[in-house]
Amino acid sequence: MQLQDTPEEWRVVATTTPFEGNKTSVRTDDVVMPDGTVARRDYQVHPGSVAVLALDGAGRVLVLRQYRHPVRHKLWEIPAGLLDVPGENPLHAAQRELYEEAHVKAEDWRVLTDVYTTPGGCDEAVRIFLARDLSEAEGERFEVSEEEADMELARVPLDELVRGVLAGELHNNCLVVGVLALTAAQAGPGLESLRPAEAPWPARPFEK
């Protein structure tokens, strides 16, 4: 048995889009099941996202605290954002998000992991990068608004984030996955074994 996710697409006999928002939409598909029956599946259509686990020379992770209205919480997160342009290079999008949200740049970039956030109800795919060799970005800070205007920034030791994740105190998807993936890579094959920043991403193909 090969332990690897594989592409597959079951036949869709009808589809509608009952809601279309600014960035995402909701789609309803009638899907033919293996036994020949037809089941209706509603899901959110999402452009995809990138996230950045930025690790400084002292072993601290750059995190931010932001209000998230759907869950009625202020969550500690890592910098992240949407792939606003179809086919956009995810590395370029990640570099932009790190600059806009933290006014930081990084010289060393690698792919930490790729995930589907909620594959039972949304097609969002996220590429989480590891960024190292950090420094302050040049120029003026990016002007923020709405929830981001209330955002807090901090640098937290990795082991403290791991403790918070396992204690059920930290809940943001990308932070949890990124922190645990980084810990596993450090304890296993090492960070140099991670994929290059421009590694192919079948879930969201892009041009280099």
Residue 7, pLDDT above cutoff 90: yes
- The pLDDT tens digits of the residues spanning 23-47 come to 999 999 999 999 999 999 999 999 9
Please check whether residue 178 is in contact with residue 158, taking contact to mean a CB–CB distance below 8 angstroms: no
Q: Can you tell me the mean pLDDT for 83-87?
A: 87
DSSP, res 98: H
Give the dihedral of Cα atoms 175, 181, 184, 186; nearest 10 deg. Answer: -90
Host H or E run for residue 47: none
Q: Report CA-CA distances (Å) from 179 to 83, 126, 159.
A: 22, 15, 9
pLDDT at 162: 98
Residue 139, pLDDT above cutoff 80: no
Confidence grade of residue 138 (pLDDT, cut at 50, 70, 90): confident
Positive or negative: CA dihedral 184, 125, 79, 160: negative
pLDDT at 2: 87
pLDDT at 1: 79
Confidence grade of residue 142 (pLDDT, cut at 50, 70, 90): low
Query: Which is the catalytic residue, given 148, 160, 192, 207?
Result: 148
pLDDT at 146: 56
Residue 190, pLDDT above cutoff 70: yes
Q: If 0-12 CB within 10 Å is exposed, 13-18 middle and 19+ buried, where does residue 179 land? A: buried
Q: Can you tell me the mean pLDDT for 17-28?
A: 95
Annotated catalytic residue 152: no
- The pLDDT tens digits of the residues spanning 91-137 come to 999 999 999 999 999 999 999 999 999 999 999 999 999 999 999 99
